[in-house]
Structure 1
Amino acid sequence: MSPTVSESEFEDLSRQAEIDGTAPRVGAIIDRGGQVLLLERHDTGPIKAPLKLPGATVLPRESLAEAVARGVREETGLVVTGIRHHVGDFDYLSPDAHPVRRLHFAVDVATTDPIHLTAHARYYWAPLDGELRVTSSIRRILDTYRNLVLG
């Protein structure tokens, strides 16, 4: 059986974000045979925006686990069946200069298709060992994930 993130670990992560004065957001790593699901924003400019992991802003009174499941469902139509690992996080400033902590989790889903996008232009199944058009912060999260699953 895969390890799962405990309720106390979720609570500790939420509490630490609150202590640090950061708004929690979550991201999900969905793995399909060594490829991860990445989403592309709608973009009309000449420079392509980086790809992103599915995720969500944590709503008031919502647990991190609930936010992960909701974010994956809303952005992809996939159903989270388990949250295996807290892979890592990073802090940044939102466009309106508020501190945010993005917490990333490796998740299991009922099935990896079909994907129904609601807020993104397209999706990609990208190999973990390939060149990915992601931010350096997401690259570090994916590298940590790759090391976790490969041992």
Structure 2
Amino acid sequence: MSPTVSESEFQDLSRQAEIDGTAPRVGAIIDRGGQILLLERHDTGPIKVPLKLPGATVLPGESLAAAVTRGVLEETGLVVTGIRHHVGDFDYLSPDAQPVRRLHFAVDVAAAHPIHLTAHARYIWAPLDGELPVTSSIRAILETYRNLVHG
């Protein structure tokens, strides 16, 4: 998995989100030997919320690459050293009914530990080939990633 996402690919993805009228958010796939880092939100309700990938909302004027790097650092304390692939994306409506496009990237990190959570209750390293406790949209992204990595 040596390729890296080019600046022009990042710009094309940003431009397309803007044309489509969606606010860009990013998610990062951090793979530690076939295990994917998933985060659990603080949950106070009776319904168990699915786990999520680290990520961030893209700030005004911020590049997608900068948002990926910032989001991973802010949510996990891990330092992104490279963004290898755009794995895929999906659109959804935010809680205030605004259209959002969540773009997912496979990233390399300097080290997979220690993890310092700031906005989540806990994290797990889940086997990529297991039944992952994530939404169907994230499951599809991770299936694409699995096919990309393991052909």
The TM tier, using the shorter chain, reads: over 0.9
**1:56 aligned partner:** 56
Distance 2:53 2:30 in 1: 8
Counterpart in 2 of 1:116?
A: 116
Structure 2 CA distance for aligned equivalents of residues 17 and 45 of structure 1: 33
Q: Which residue of 1 aligns with 2:22?
A: 22
d(CA) in 2 for partners of 1:52, 1:123 = 9
Match of 2:141 in 1: 141
The sequence identity of aligned pairs, in percent, is: 89
> Paired residues, what number?
151
Secondary structure at the counterpart of residue 107 of structure 2: strand
Normalised by the length of structure 1, the TM-score is 0.99
Paired residue type of 2:11: E
Q: Distance in 2 between matches of 1:134 and 1:148?
A: 19
State TM-score, norm by structure 2. Answer: 0.99
Gaps of 5+ in 2: none
Aligned residue type for 1:3: P
Deviation at 1:46, TM superposition (A): 2.1
Partner of 2:78: 78
Match of 2:33 in 1: 33
Deviation at 1:47, TM superposition (A): 1.8
Distance 1:97 1:47 in 2: 21
> Whole-Å Cα distance in 1 between the matches of residues 46 and 65 of structure 2?
37
What is the alpha-carbon distance in structure 2 between the residues aligned to residue 132 and residue 33 of structure 1? 16
Q: Could you say which residue in structure 2 is the equivalent of 1:102?
A: 102
Unaligned runs of 5+ in 1: none
Is structure 2 residue 90 aligned with structure 1 residue 90? yes
Moved over 2 A (4+): none
Structure 2 distance, partners of 1:37, 1:44, is 22
